[in-house]
Amino acid sequence: MFTNALQELHALLPKHLIDTCVEIAAPKGTCLFTSGEKPTHMFFIVTGEVVLERPGLQGAPVILQRTRRGFMSEASLKSPSYHCHGQVVADSKIVRVPIRALREALDTDTAFSGRWITMLNKEVRRLRLQCERLSLTKVQARLLHLLETEGESGAYPIGAGIKSMAGELGVTHEALYRCIYAMEKDGALTRGDGFLRLSPRV
């Protein structure tokens, strides 16, 4: 159902840059990098889930970005140090892209630079959708918005679980569980094999 993320990466990067990349398996709990560390790689999430987080004043981490697919920590491309931690929250497959080689390719390959800008524009649109979603007041409205705008054919991967999805939607996991249960009971939603699926309207 979902387009292969590696195919997207190969379509984006020049072949000589692809040859320098390394695919790794990162189990849940892996720390990809820490705040203050000098960036050496850009990370492309193939499957799983990774968050950017900082320690909060109340002790709990504050999540700045959540990525299930695609590049994360794009700001580190031109930064002397990471400004947060990269934490794997679900078993993941990740491609490490050397930052120095990526910078050189962007500086010398105009076609690649254009594709990179297009990719960043898509991320901006995704973030705008997220802002619109968080402006909705009801849990069900936020969930429907997520499934309809970021799912494919009404299906959306659960990733690290319902609790993680609740954080992305800005609601408590208890409220999201109740919402999903009610929608399942009404026949509007099905859950299974790692996905939530909207039922077609009759």
Residues 24, 100 within the same domain: yes
Residues 18, 83 within the same domain: yes
- Torsional sign, CA 28, 195, 51, 57: negative
Question: Residue 5: what pLDDT?
Answer: 85
Question: Residue 150: what pLDDT?
Answer: 81
- Domain range for 48: 5-109
Q: Which of 109, 128, 145 is the last residue of a domain?
A: 109
Indicate the pLDDT class of residue 1, thresholds 50, 70 and 90.
very low
The interaxial angle of helices 139-150 and 162-169, nearest 10 deg, is: 100
- Structure-derived torsion over alpha carbons of residues 59, 69, 46, 48, reported in degrees to the nearest 10: 40
Mean confidence (pLDDT) of the chain: 87
Q: What is the CATH number of the domain that holds 145?
A: 1.10.10.10
In 3D space, the residue among 97, 101, 70, 79 whose CA is nearest the CA of residue 35 turns out to be 79
Q: Is residue 129 part of a domain?
A: no
Q: Is residue 26 part of a domain?
A: yes
Per-residue pLDDT tens over the stretch 104-139: 999 999 999 999 999 999 888 888 888 888 888 899
Phi, psi values for residue 69, rounded to 5°: -165, 130
| C-alpha 160: how far from chain center | 11
Per-residue pLDDT tens over the stretch 160-202: 678 878 877 888 889 999 999 999 888 888 887 778 888 876 5
Residues 13, 95 within the same domain: yes
Per-residue pLDDT tens over the stretch 39-70: 999 999 998 889 888 876 666 677 778 888 89
Global pTM?
0.76
Q: How many domains does the chain have?
A: 2
Q: Give 160: exposed, middle or buried? Use CB within 10 Å, 0-12, 13-18, 19+.
A: buried
Indicate the pLDDT class of residue 2, thresholds 50, 70 and 90.
very low
